[in-house]
Amino acid sequence: MQLPSSLLENAVAEFSKLPGVGKKTALRLVLHLLKQDVNEVQHFGETISKMRRDIKFCQRCHNISDGDICSICSNSMRNQHAICVVENIRDVIAIESTQQFNGTYHILGGIISPLDGIGPDQLKIESLIHRIEKEVVEELIFALSPNIQGDTTIYYIQKKMSHLSCRITTIARGIAFGGELEYADEMTLARSLANRLPVQQYVK
């Protein structure tokens, strides 16, 4: 694509780095911004930079947060003795929108998959074990993808916390049918949160 300005070209290049945005869409977005008032666009850019610069990750659960501790962790109305273990922030948003869970979360940042170069070290597993050691945890609920890597992650964590006594459950797996949690519709997700199952004592 030949563009008449290198400034335009740079902007298009930046936009097309976004997931699901191709060169054509990027150009359309940039041309749209070009039609706007300078102050408008200034505000747009600053909002984004500020978001990235100022946003924090909760020191306890790794959720996005405005402070050191997120709004879920600091909410005394929530059950602080139940932890729902999820892969990413989108899963938190999906579960929160069902309004069926009143505990806290722990965001791993992915699941174990040596094939994709993701080992336990790259995930927030150690901090989860620390949490269970330090806090009074009554139930650990796994809400991970219903696939092999999800299983590996559950069994691995279970192995790592064999010295700790805490009820371990999983939401009914296979809910999203080979898909990921974020694609499960709210009703199914709500139902499987209500009917959680004990993780089989598979790792002895």
Partner 1 sequence: MLQLQSISLVHFRNYVQSDFSFEERVIALCGKNGVGKTNFLDAIYYLSFTKSYFSRPESQSVHHGLQGMRIEGDYLLNNKKINIRCIVRETNRKEFYFNADEYKRFSEHIGKIPCVMIAPDDVALITGNSEERRKFIDTILSQCNTNYLQWLIDYNKILQQRNSLLKAAAEHNLLDESLLETLDDQLSEKGELIFKERKEFLSHFIVSVKKQYQYIAQKNDHISIEYDSQFLTASMKELLQSNRQRDLYLQRTGCGIHKDDITFLMKGQSFKTLASQGQRKSLLFALKLAEFEVLKQQKHITPILLLDDVFEKLDAERMHHLLHKVCVEENGQVFITDTNRERLAESLKEIKVPFQLIEL
For tokens 């976004």, the residue is 18
CB of 85 to Zn ion, least distance (A): 13
Q: Which two tokens stand for residue 112?
A: 């174990």
User: What is the rounded distance in angstroms from the CA atom of residue 88 to the CA atom of residue 36?
Assistant: 35
CB of 164 to partner 1, least distance (A): 15
From the list partner 1, Zn ion, none, pick the one residue 152 interacts with, judged by a Cβ distance below 5 to 8 Å according to partner type: partner 1
From the list Zn ion, partner 1, none, pick the one residue 148 interacts with, judged by a Cβ distance below 5 to 8 Å according to partner type: partner 1
From the list partner 1, Zn ion, none, pick the one residue 120 interacts with, judged by a Cβ distance below 5 to 8 Å according to partner type: partner 1
Q: Is 100 or 113 the residue whose CB approaches partner 1 more closely?
A: 113
Which residues are near Zn ion by CB under 5 A?
58, 60-61, 63, 70, 73
Q: Is 91 or 151 the residue whose CB approaches partner 1 more closely?
A: 151
Q: Is 194 or 203 the residue whose CB approaches partner 1 more closely?
A: 203
CB of 115 to partner 1, least distance (A): 4
User: What is the rounded distance in angstroms from the CA atom of residue 192 to the CA atom of residue 127?
Assistant: 26
| Contacts by 99-104, CB closer than 8 A, 24 or more apart | 99/190, 100/189, 100/190, 100/193, 100/194, 101/193, 102/77, 102/78, 103/78, 103/79, 103/139, 103/141, 104/60, 104/61, 104/72, 104/73, 104/78, 104/79, 104/80
Q: Is 9 or 180 the residue whose CB approaches partner 1 more closely?
A: 180
Q: Is 45 or 119 the residue whose CB approaches partner 1 more closely?
A: 119
User: What is the rounded distance in angstroms from the CA atom of residue 5 to the CA atom of residue 24?
Assistant: 16
Which residues are near partner 1 by CB under 8 A?
112-115, 117, 119-121, 148-149, 151-152, 155-156, 159-160, 177-178, 202-203
End-to-end CA distance of the chain: 59
